[in-house]
Chains A and B, each alone.
Chain A
Amino acid sequence: MLRFVLRRVGISLLVMLGASALLFWLVTVSGDALADLRESNAENRQTLMNSRIRTMGLDEPWWSRYLSWLGGVARCFTLDCRLGVTRNGVDVQQLMGNAAVTTLRLVVLATLLAIVVGVAVGILTALRQYSGFDYTVTFLAFLFFSLPVFWAAVLLKEFGAIRFNDWLADPLISPLVTVLLAVVLAFVLQSIVGGGPRRRLTTGGIAFVWIAVSLVVFEETGTFRDPSFGVVPLAIAGAGAAVLTTTLVTGLGHRRVLYAALTTVALVVVGSLALGGVVDDPGHAVVLVGLYALAVVTALVVGWAWGGSSRRQAMAVSAVTATLVCLLVLMSKVAEYWGSYLVLQPRPISTIGASTPGFAGTFWEDFIDKGTQLVLPTILLMLISVASYSRYTRSSMLEVLEQDYVRTARSKGLSERTVVTRHAFRNALIPITTIVAFDFAGLIGGAVITEQVFGWKGMGELFQTGLNQTDPIPVMAFFLVTGSAAILMNLLADIAYASLDPRIRR
C-alpha cells in the first residue's frame, strides 16, 4: 500500500514538474512584460524599464528564469520557500498566504458538500428510476451543466443576496408562497419515498400539512430573524440522527448499535452543555476542532463498550452520529447568534468580498459573518459538481444494481436496505472517487471565475493580474497551490479507491 502511494506521488510530482515548465514558458511568451512602460510618457521611463528588467530577470532566457524559480521552490524541502517576487518587487508568499486560504476554503467546502449532496441525490434517483423525481433531477442536472458560471453568479447576487436581504428585513411569506412551497416539497418527498398511490398520498399529505404549518408558525414567531432553539429540540434531532444512521448502516435490529449511537448523542449533548462556556467563546477555530475530536473519541469508546459482537459497526455508527450531533450543535450556536449578528449586519448575505471589512463581533458572530460570505460562491461552485456527481452516481448505481451478486443478495432474502447499502452502494462509489479527483481541477477553474464575480482577493486574482502583466511568478504560485491540492486530491481518491476495492491493493 505504501509503495503504491509513493509511486503515485512520485509520478504526480514528475508530471507537475513538466507542467510547471510548460506553464512558465507559455506565460513568458504570452505578452510583453514591459508593454505598459513602453506606452507611458514618464520622464524616468528608461530607469523604470531597467529596474523591471532587473527584478524580473528579463535579460535572461526563459529557462534560466524558470530554473532560478525552481531552485527557490526546491528550498521548500528545507522549509525555506523562496517563491520569488512580482514585477513590483513584492514577495509572492505574502500575497499568497491569505489568498490560498480563501480559495482552498471555498473549493474544499464546495467539493465536500457536492460529494455528499451529489451522491445522495444520485442514489435516490437510481432507486427511483423513471419517477417524476428522477426526470426532474435529470433535467436540473443538465441545466446546471449548461449554466455559464459567471452569468449564474450575477443572478444569484440579485436573487440570492439582494432580494433575500430585502425580504429578511421584514420576513413575510404570503399565503400563496406558503402553499406553493409546501406543495413542491411534498411532491418531492412523496416521489422519493415512493410506494403505492395510497402511501404516496399519505406521505405527501403529511409533508404538506407539516411544512405549511411550520412556515406559518415560523413567520408568527419571527423565527427567520431569531431561529435559536433550546436543548430539547437539539436532543430530539440528535436522537433522530442516531436512528437514521443506525437504520442506514446496520438496521434497527441491531439493538447494541442503536444504544451505542443514542448514548453518544446523550453524551455529546450533555458535554456541549457542560462545556457551554468554551463552546460559547472558543477563541479560535482550533478549539472547536479539538472539541469535535473529543466527541469522536468518546463515540468510539462508547461504541467499543456497547458493541459486543458487532463492535466495529457500533464504533462506526457512533462516530458518524457524533459528527452529525456536532454539526447540530454548530447549527444551534449559529441560530443562537443569528439575531445579534443581524443587529450588527442588517444585510447578511453579501455580494462582494470574503469578509466584512472592519467587522468586530464575538467569535460566533465572526463565524457567521465568514459563513454568510461563503454561501453564494459555494452554492455556485457546488451546482455544477452536484450535477455531474449525481449523474455519475446514478448511472454507476444502476449498473451495479444489475450485477449478478446483487441478484444473489436479493434472492437469498436480504432486505432491500441491506442490498442497497451494503452490496450496491460501496461498489457504486468506486467510479465516483475517480470522477471527484478529476473534477477538482475543473472546480479550481470555476473558483477563478467565482472569485472574480464576487470580488474575492483569492488565488484567482493572483493568477489574473499575473497573466495580465505577463509576470510568471504569481501565476506559478497559483499553479503550485492548485497543483499540489490536485495531487493531494488524487492521492485521497487513490486511497479511497484502494479501501473500496481490495483488488487493487498490491
Chain B
Amino acid sequence: MPDPTQPGDEYAPQPTDSGISPVPGHVMPEVTPGRTEDRSYSQGQLVRRRFFRHVGAMVSLAVLLLVVLVSFTSIGFGPVPGWWDKDFARAADLVDGGRPTLQLFPFALGEHPFGQDNAGKDYFALVMRGTQISLTIAFVVGIVSTALGTLVGALAGYYRGWVESVLMRLTDLFIVIPLLVLAAVLGRIAGGGGPVMLALVLGLVTWTGLARLVRGEVLSLRERDFVTAARAGGTGAVRTVVKHILPNAVGVIIVSGTLAIASAILLETALSFLGFGVQPPDVSLGSLISTYQSAFTTRPWLFWWPGLVILTIALSVNFVGDGLRDAFDPRQNRSKS
C-alpha cells in the first residue's frame, strides 16, 4: 500500500544523461522518434508497458485465460454445446476402474482424461462444470465487492464527518465477524438461489478491506491542489470524485479487485466444502473435494484434480495482481540494480 503521506514522485522524470560527458568530443546521439527514452508516455501507457513486461504476470494471465477458455468451451455453457461429448451428470460404465486416461507423452486425452467417479460419471466434465461455477462466482464477487468497496470508501473519504463515522463503523461491524462465519450464514440463506445469488451475497461481505484502502487514498487525494482547483471552478461533488479523485486511486482499486477475485475463489470453495455454499445438483470445485475427500486412498484422482484447478486459478490471479501492483506502484522495485 502506498504511503498516503508521501507525494507520488514515482512518475517524476529521471535524468537519462549524467550531464558532463567524461569523453572529450562526445556527440549527443541523434534523437530518433522511435526510441523509447525520448518519447513521452501517458501514465496509462507507462502502467500498461510495465505490466506487459512482467513475465510472471503475463504467464499467469495466459494460464488463467487457458483455464477459462477450456472450462467454458469444453462442456459448453448454458444452451451452447461444447467440444467435449460427455455429460457431467450421466453415469457410464467404469473403464479401467475409473483411472484417468490422460497421457502427456504422447499427449492423449483418452476416454476419461481425469478418470471417473465411483458412479462412473466422467470426472473431466464434472471438474469443468465446477470450474465454470467457481470462476463465475469468483468474478461476480470480485466485481460486486470492488464496486461496493469503492463506493463506501469514496463516500467516507470525501464527505468526512458523520457520513464517514457511520460508514466506517459499519465496516468495522463487518470486520469483527470472521469473514467465513458471515459468509457461511449468508451462504446458507442464498445457497438455494443458485450460484449467482450466492456470489452477489458473498460480494456483500467482502468489500470491507477495499473500502478502508480507498478511503485512505481519497482522504489524501482530496487535499491535493488539483482537487481544490476543480472545486474552485465550481465542479460538483459527484464529478469531483468520479473525474478527479477516483482516476488517481485506480491502481489501488484494480489491484485489490484482482486480489479479491483470488480470495473469493478460496472463500467460495471453502464454503462449498463446509456445505454452506453451492448446493447440489450444482457442483463447484469445493463441493467436489468435499464429496470425494474420503476417496483419497482408493481413487486419489477424484481429490487431486479439483484441488489443482483451484490452486492454479488462485495462484495465477494472485500473480496477475502482483504484476498489476508492480505496474501501478513501481517504488518497491526501484532498488533493483
Please, how many angstroms separate the alpha-carbon atoms of A475 and B185 in the complex? Answer: 10
A26-B274 contact in complex given A398-B332, A402-B335, C-beta closer than 8 Å: no
A30-B177 contact in complex given A146-B266, A148-B310, A402-B335, C-beta closer than 8 Å: no
A342 beta carbon closer than 8 Å to chain B: no
B311 beta carbon closer than 8 Å to chain A: yes
Please, how many angstroms separate the alpha-carbon atoms of A467 and B314 in the complex? Answer: 28
Q: Which of A1-44 contact B (CB under 8 A)?
A: 11-12, 14-16, 18-19, 22-23, 26-27, 29-31
Please, how many angstroms separate the alpha-carbon atoms of A27 and B188 in the complex? Answer: 9
B266 near A398: Cβ-Cβ < 8 Å:
no
Query: CB within 8 A of A483: which of B177, B186, B273, B307?
Result: B177
Query: CB within 8 A of A19: which of B173, B262, B275, B335?
Result: B173
A149 beta carbon closer than 8 Å to chain B: yes
A26-B318 contact in complex given A15-B172, A15-B176, A145-B262, C-beta closer than 8 Å: no
Query: CB within 8 A of B269: which of A130, A148, A402?
Result: A148
Chain A CB count within 10 A is highest, among B3, B173, B186, B266, for: B173
B195: shortest Cβ distance to chain A, in Å?
A: 18
A449 beta carbon closer than 8 Å to chain B: yes
Question: What is the chain B residue whose CB lies nearest that of A145?
Answer: B318
Question: What is the chain B residue whose CB lies nearest that of A143?
Answer: B315
A70: shortest Cβ distance to chain B, in Å?
A: 16
Question: What is the chain A residue whose CB lies nearest that of B325?
Answer: A395
A463 near B181: Cβ-Cβ < 8 Å:
yes
Interface size on B, as a range, is 35 or more
B202: shortest Cβ distance to chain A, in Å?
A: 13
B185 near A26: Cβ-Cβ < 8 Å:
yes
Q: Which of B239-295 contact A (CB under 8 A)?
A: 262, 266, 269-270, 273-276, 286, 289-290, 293
A23 near B182: Cβ-Cβ < 8 Å:
yes
Determine the chain B residues whose CB is within 8 A of the CB of A148 once the complex forms: 266, 269-270, 273, 286, 289, 307, 310-311, 314
Question: What is the chain A residue whose CB lies nearest that of B179?
Answer: A445
A448 beta carbon closer than 8 Å to chain B: yes
B75 beta carbon closer than 8 Å to chain A: no
Determine the chain A residues whose CB is within 8 A of the CB of B179 once the complex forms: 441-442, 445
Please, how many angstroms separate the alpha-carbon atoms of A151 and B305 in the complex? Answer: 11
Please, how many angstroms separate the alpha-carbon atoms of A149 and B336 in the complex? Answer: 34
Question: What is the chain A residue whose CB lies nearest that of B6?
Answer: A399
Q: Which of B315-330 contact A (CB under 8 A)?
A: 315, 317-319, 322
A142 beta carbon closer than 8 Å to chain B: yes
Determine the chain B residues whose CB is within 8 A of the CB of A151 once the complex forms: 289, 303, 306-307, 310-311
B180 beta carbon closer than 8 Å to chain A: yes
Determine the chain B residues whose CB is within 8 A of the CB of A398 once the complex forms: 332, 335
Please, how many angstroms separate the alpha-carbon atoms of A402 and B331 in the complex? Answer: 10
Query: CB within 8 A of B311: which of A31, A146, A463?
Result: A146
Q: Which of A54-83 contact B (CB under 8 A)?
A: none
Query: CB within 8 A of A150: which of B262, B270, B322?
Result: B270
A444 beta carbon closer than 8 Å to chain B: yes
B189 near A30: Cβ-Cβ < 8 Å:
yes
A467 near B332: Cβ-Cβ < 8 Å:
no
On B, residues with C-beta under 8 Å from A are 3, 169, 172-182, 184-186, 188-189, 262, 266, 269-270, 273-276, 286, 289-290, 293, 296, 303, 306-307, 310-311, 314-315, 317-319, 322, 332, 334-336
Please name 23 pairs of A and B residues whose Cβ atoms are closer than 8 Å in the assembled complex, sorted by A. A14-B169, A15-B172, A19-B176, A22-B173, A22-B177, A23-B182, A23-B185, A26-B189, A30-B189, A143-B315, A150-B290, A150-B293, A151-B289, A151-B306, A151-B310, A444-B178, A448-B180, A448-B274, A452-B274, A467-B184, A467-B185, A475-B181, A478-B181
Given contacts A448-B180, A449-B270, 16 further A-B contacts (CB under 8 A): A12-B176, A18-B173, A19-B177, A22-B173, A23-B177, A26-B182, A142-B319, A145-B262, A146-B266, A148-B266, A148-B286, A395-B332, A399-B3, A442-B180, A444-B178, A449-B274
Give 10 nearest A-B pairs by CB, closest first.
A445-B180, A146-B314, A151-B307, A146-B315, A445-B178, A441-B178, A15-B172, A30-B188, A150-B273, A26-B185
